[in-house]
Amino acid sequence: MKPQRKLALVTGASGGLGLEFARLLARDGYDLALVARSETKLRDAAQSLSNEFGVEAVPVVLDLARPDSADELARQVARCDVLVNNAGFASNGRFDRIDENRISEEILLDVFALTRITRKYLPSMIERGDGKVLNIASTAGFLPGPFMSVYYACKAYVISFSQAVAEELRGTGVTVTCFCPGATDTGFAERAQTGETLLFKLPVSTARAMAKAGYRAMQRGKLVEVPWPPSNWFVELSSRLTPRRMLLWFSRKAVEVEGR
């Protein structure tokens, strides 16, 4: 009888970083549960990965910004060996002008869903003494973010949460890794309306390169990974050394769009 392959669950898997993480996992022989709300793109991705790598790739069409999404996901996918919490989005604009429903959805997806999904799958990982969690944060999490205040705060939460839970799980055989990429060429900028900002006018990384860096860090059980290029390391270092007023000014200029 063939040994059962391990299962990896990837959120936000219909494109960008999520799809690249799924590709790396499939290459290494993991079966996949791919989660996103874009049904056509998700089913196409699942079929493509299954055909290319000979693994089972199951699309789970689900809006993770719904408050009950973690419960529904756990009903459809009972357990996993690797959890990649990648789903998230950002809003660009002055806080008081952003639609309140969008703010709620952003927090529900970037913070609440990530937290509850992690809680759903950790107990069985701990019971088996084996498992990996990869939480996708951002270099934004090291900074306050004028005009993207909610997103930057959400990613700060992910960094803090990931490190704390990782320490709690030390010695259990389960690792939690927090991956903090900088500007990356995915669909993120379009949804966040940041494509014309200084941040995305500078050279950006490819989704494939970033996924490889995050995947390597997860496999090593690294606590926090801030990947190449050096500009990402500069952001993390600046957050600790730069005077707060100057840091706020630089952070603002990176993402501000005039008139928004």
Q: Give the tokens for residue 9.
A: 């669950």
Other CB atoms within 10 Å distance of the CB of residue 66: 16
Among this protein's residues, is 152 annotated catalytic?
no
Q: Using CB atoms within 10 Å of the CB of residue 124, give its burial: 0 to 12 exposed, 13 to 18 middle, 19+ buried.
A: middle
Other CB atoms within 10 Å distance of the CB of residue 251: 24
Distance CA 238, CA 244 (A): 10
- Choosing from 151, 152, 157, 215, the catalytic residue is 151
Contact by Cβ (8 Å): 49, 32: yes
Please give the angle made by the CA atoms of 46, 49 and 54, to the nearest 5 degrees.
Answer: 115
29 phi and psi angles, rounded to 5 deg: 90, 10
61 phi and psi angles, rounded to 5 deg: -85, 115
What are the residue numbers of the active site? 151
